[in-house]
Amino acid sequence: MKPVIFGLSGPALTPDERAFFADVEPAGYILFRRNVVDRAQLRALTDSLRDLAGRDDLAILIDQEGGRVARMGPPAWPAFPAGPAFAKLYEAAPMSAIQAMRANAQALGLMLSEVGITVDCAPLLDVAQPDTTEAVASRAYGADPMQVAALGRAMLEGLAAGGVVGVVKHMPGHGRAIVDSHYDLPTVTAPAEALAVDIEPFRTLRHAMMGMTSHIVFQAWDAERPATLSPVVIDRVIRGEIGFDGLLMTDDIDMKALSGTAGDKAASAIAAGCDLVLDCWARMDEMIDIAGRLEPIAAHSRARLDRAMASRRAPDGDFDEVIARRDAFFALA
């Protein structure tokens, strides 16, 4: 098994993808809108991935937060609210917001489990700042670390009840970035004392099974390398100060915040201490480059992956009833 999660080019595996993935054996896959048509198609796709891997516990990921970040949507699936809706509710009624978030996430988990998806790249634990880039501010759970952690915990619990593993992101915090790392490399100049606010939600939820890095340079910790590629940030901050010992994957290495070839970025991320590389865009030449540069997954990383996937439990609850419960909490406020 190679320590990488690959994307797929379309709604079904191509012959080239099937042959390549069978040979490389990636740790998992991530799905996007281009891979999604309807329930029957999506279930057939995820079943084909499990059959190819020979593993029922295969990590099949999706970004299904709600709002602008939703790969599955109408008309086949309902729309879900984004993080700020729960942040607004929290200001009026904290316990209602927590219960609404838990129910919302349980519904998400049930929806994903139905089509064979096992991992949702949520919750987002980035603490919003007044100048946070819109790419994060439009999804954040608020500006107070305790609030972010409380809503993030509810998201993890709800996803688990729906049969899905959550991923806390973007470690050690994306809230101070004022540019979008999809297009530019953000640099954060705040001192370490101020950054304690950013890492607080991650420390609170440090026992999460999976986490994702941020492509951000934090000058207080490593002025030369973004967190994804920094042994200092990963070892001293994420593993040390935060105390996270779950599976750590990169954010998409194709984002423009990172420079170099796909293989260079992948190898550097693993060398820095990430367990898995996330490569989303299904470009065969880049996937071949990445696979050629990566050694088989390390034993400690495989153990973290196995532990995370073993934490999944059977989906629980009726989708319509859970959605109604979520909406009732919103109505109370």
Active-site residue list: 182, 251
- Write a three-state SS string for the chain: CEEEEEECCCCCCCHHHHHHHHHHCEEEEEECHHHCCCHHHHHHHHHHHHHHHCCCCCEEEECEEECCEECCCCCCCCCCCCHHHHHHHHHHCHHHHHHHHHHHHHHHHHHHHHCCCCEECCCECCCCCCCCCHHHHCCCCCCCHHHHHHHHHHHHHHHHHCCCEEEEEEECCCCCCCCCCCCCCCEECCCHHHHHHHHHHHHHCCCCCEEEECCCEECCCCCCCCHHHCHHHHHHHHHHHCCCCCEEEEEECCCCCCCCCHHHHHHHHHHHCCCEEEECCCCHHHHHHHHHHCCCCCHHHHHHHHHHHHCCCCCCCCHHHHHHHHHHHHHHC
* CA proximity to 116, closest of 190, 210, 48, 206: 48
The phi, psi pair for 122, rounded to 5°, reads -165, 150
How far is the CA of 192 from the CAs of 169, 196, 197, 213, in angstroms? 19, 7, 9, 18
Q: Are 209 and 165 in contact (CB under 8 A)?
A: yes
